[in-house]
Amino acid sequence: MKYLITIVGPTAIGKTALSIALAQQFKSEIISCDSRQFFKEMRIGTAVPSSEELAAAQHHFIQNKSIFENYTVGDFEKEAIEKLEELFLTNDYVVLVGGSGLYVDAVLKGFDEFPEIELSVREEVKQNYELLGLHYLQTELEQRDPKYFEVVAKENPQRLMRALEVCIGTGKPYSSFLNQKKNTRNFTPILIGLEAERSVIYDRINQRVDIMLNEGLLAEAKELLPHKNRNALQTVGYRELFSYFEGEISLEFAIEEIKKNTRRFAKRQLTWFKRNEETKWFDYLIDRQEIIDYIKKKSNDNSNGNDKNISNIEIPK
């Protein structure tokens, strides 16, 4: 059997370090499922793994695209499944890691199919957004689909517009098209979640933002300012600094907004990932051997004792 060790959890919780440790343990490679880290122009603001971390295990889907390319979750699903099929030819285990819940679900279950929406509906939503702003999208979507509104990235106009288009165009909630029958997968997922007390998560987020600023986030964002309308840049860490560069807010306020919006993002991540009852949650400080033991047990249980490979793995002390 083939196993996809899937590591999820809020931003700044330590998923990267765990993914590398597990990839080394199981002599495997890593599929990155962080939609912000796909883009090579956005290194600092997306906390791309360091060169040392990237060298410690083979990573895929990190800085492999440009913000000038149109890249959707459907595109990612197709490419990720193709890469997994390739890796599973020589590995019984592959590690999937990331905080983008929609992208994780696309790999594990398949991408949801939505009906075609009339162009007139899309134009109407876009024009209203340009006229009335983000608040219009948020208010309309909350009324039409409160279930999806609870977990969507509320500061991402592209996500909001897409969901609203479906709501208006079909007369049904966007969420009603989620979790339909998916494509079959040739692997068994083993889901690992990392968590901590909310105060700990928030402290780690605040520290990460400070580190990003020290590493040059301000300069990176300023270089990207001329392209601020690109879809990839409608995200926390860049949007706030664009407002600062354009004189709308102070730098101090922009930094506090980045921290606040990242904390909100982490809360939405947990809401999304906690929906999956198959996920086994561990404290972020737990001894990694306990996680490895859990993976061993799940593998043996799923293979009904036929998979001998897992029992031969040596656990480091």
Query: What are the structure tokens assigned to 183, written together?
Result: 């494509």
Q: Give the domain range for residue 9.
A: 3-112+180-312
Domain-embedded: residue 90: yes
pTM: 0.80
Domain-embedded: residue 40: yes
Q: Is 11 annotated to bind ligand?
A: yes
In whole angstroms, what is the distance from residue 156 CA to residue 152 CA?
8
Domain-embedded: residue 317: no
Q: Is 40 annotated to bind ligand?
A: no
Which CATH number goes with the domain that contains 231?
3.40.50.300
pLDDT per residue of the chain (317 residues) written in tens, 0 to 9? 999 999 999 999 999 999 999 999 999 999 999 999 999 999 999 999 999 999 999 999 999 999 999 888 888 999 999 999 999 999 999 999 999 988 999 899 886 677 778 888 888 999 999 999 999 999 999 999 999 999 898 888 989 999 999 999 888 899 988 876 657 899 999 999 999 999 999 999 999 999 999 999 999 999 999 999 888 998 999 999 999 999 999 999 999 999 999 999 999 999 999 999 999 999 999 999 999 999 999 998 876 654 434 333 332 32
Q: Do 67 and 186 lie in a common domain?
A: yes
Helix/strand/coil percentages in the chain, nearest 5: 55, 10, 35
Q: Do 107 and 132 lie in a common domain?
A: no
Q: Do 80 and 171 lie in a common domain?
A: no
Residue that is last in its domain, among 160, 177, 194: 177
- Measured over the CA atoms of residue 238, residue 208, residue 50 and residue 270, the dihedral's sign is negative
Domain count, the chain: 2
Q: Do 193 and 298 lie in a common domain?
A: yes
Q: Is 12 annotated to bind ligand?
A: yes
Q: Is 15 annotated to bind ligand?
A: yes
The Cβ-side half-sphere exposure at 291, using a 13 Å CA radius, reads: 26
